[in-house]
Chain A
Amino acid sequence: MTENFLLVYQSLPYLLKGSIITLELIGGALALGLIMGIPMAIGQVYGNKYVANLISFYVWFFRGLPVLVLLFLFYFGLFMFLGFNLTALTAAILVLGLRSAAYQSQIFRGSIQSVGEGQMMAARSLGMSKLKAIFYIILPQALRISIPGWSNEYSIILKDSAVTYAIGLTEILTRGNFIATRTYQPLPIFLTCAAIFLILTYGGVKLLNILEKKVKIPGYGSYSNSGKEY
């Protein structure tokens, strides 16, 4: 028992370094997904049919393939074919980010569409251009609505990050596996890995909850605790 604690204690710095890589990975992927996802959602809702179809195709592709297939396809296939010399981390950020963009675009599309049509109409009636109306009226509301869905995406991508083990990225699980195979003590090590993942999920979701409350529009929406009254 004590041995186990000692092993965990000694492995912890090594695993925590891995969790920094995990955080870099999901930070980069989520950011890429966000930067691409919002314009994609706007294009799908407000763009002409060619733009909308192109985005639908993108979403179909990236949502339709297992993440491991995408990873292999891009890392061992496309990136090498194109002669990109990418580190495992950069490649993983790109692949998970491109995939996350597909999912995030649908989160944002849903929230944009749930902002009442009257909002756009009122903005246009003031003489606002469509673009300004999207930027100043629709998005501020849609982004607030999308926080719960986005927090889901955070936790999903955090867990999906473990598959980058397959391309040798030294994130949490890869490092855990190194130790486990060296020490023949898989249980305590993988439990530690699991604990780190749980803490990261909890922490991120918690932060997003705080953000959600912070940007809540006074008197608007029934989230937080008001639902308990019915």
Chain B
Amino acid sequence: MHEDNKIILKVEEIYKRYRKEEVLRGISFEVRKGETKVIIGPSGSGKSTLLRCINQLTIPDKGQVWLEGEEVTHTKKSINQFRQKMGMVFQDFNLFDHINALGNVEIGLIRVKGMDKNRAREKAMEELKQVGLEKQAYLYPAQLSGGQKQRVSIARALAMNPSVMLFDEPTSALDPELIGEVLEVIKKLAINGMTMVVVTHEMGFARSVANEVIFIESGRIIDQGPPYKLFTNPEHERTKKFLSKITELYGKSVEER
């Protein structure tokens, strides 16, 4: 455990339904400072919706989200204040297509934080260096590989100095040979003590960085626990089945190859 185990993110009884379909049915968990939670589960189980409910890109029907002791749901404060502190990385990158890598990283600093342009540029360059892309700073998204795009999007989120990072299947849209470079960056973040919630199908990655793995199905938490326990000795038959299916589908993950 981390020495400073203050709760950074707390999710309480989140419910969300789209018309007839109940996507989330009472999800609760908390993330302490420096922890990495990995969320796994079959597609359509509500993982992405859950992440979006955390930063209110999707408004949950019921339930609360707390960030560093402040309630994000039902708040008088602007949601934009909270979102700055919750960096989000999307499956399909969502880089701003009309500006180059550097511009993507600095735009939040300039337009949201109101940082002076020169300082924003410096900080953005630094973040790009962190993800190994300072040489690509002036390339546009369309000129970058998928792995590079995802690293830029990580840098963009990190530049805002978030308290927690939310990763929504960050490697699912990547060619197999590009997955490694992105996972490497995320791993480095974990080692450096970033607090993270990661939705992924990369079991090897989950095994090596997660403090806790949460298995979600049909909008409910079925199983949760430290990776060694969940992967070797899952409590539920359903978890076992999912894990064997995932290994069958995805093969061994990058780390295990």
Contact = CB atoms under 8 A, between A and B. Distances in A.
Interface in A98-127: 116, 118-119, 121-127
A220 interface: yes
B97 A141 contact: yes
B94 A119 contact: yes
A218 interface: yes
A112 to B, nearest CB: 13
Given A121-B57, A220-B140, A127 B81 contact: yes
A117 to B, nearest CB: 9
Given A127-B84, A218-B143, A122 B90 contact: yes
A219 B142 CA distance: 5
Contact of B142 (A118, A119, A121, A220): A220
B80 A125 contact: no
A28 to B, nearest CB: 29
Contacts of B83: 124-127
B88 interface: yes
B55 A125 contact: yes
A82 interface: no
A227 to B, nearest CB: 16
Contacts of B96: 119, 122-123, 137, 141
Interface residues of A, number: 22
Name which of B86, B108, B153 has the most chain A CB atoms within 10 A of its CB.
Answer: B108
Interface in A125-149: 125-129, 132, 136-137, 140-141, 144
A144 B98 contact: yes
A217 B98 contact: yes
B151 to A, nearest CB: 15
Nearest to A126: B108
Given A127-B81, A217-B140, A132 B97 contact: no
Interface residues of B, number: 32
A128 B111 contact: yes
A126 B84 contact: yes
A128 B80 contact: yes
A118 B156 contact: no
A218 B141 CA distance: 9
Interface string A209-221: 0000000011110
Given A218-B143, A219-B140, A220-B140, A126 B98 contact: no
B57 A118 contact: no
Contact of B80 (A129, A140, A218, A219): A129
A142 to B, nearest CB: 10
Contact of B111 (A124, A132, A218, A219): A132
Contacts of B143: 218-219
Contacts of B142: 217-220
Contact of B160 (A119, A127, A129, A144): A127
Those 3 A-B pairs whose CB atoms lie nearest each other, nearest first: A219-B142, A127-B84, A122-B94
26 contacts: A118-B90, A119-B97, A121-B94, A122-B90, A123-B96, A125-B57, A125-B86, A126-B107, A126-B156, A126-B160, A127-B81, A127-B108, A127-B112, A128-B108, A128-B111, A128-B112, A141-B96, A144-B98, A217-B98, A217-B140, A217-B142, A218-B143, A219-B142, A219-B143, A220-B97, A220-B140
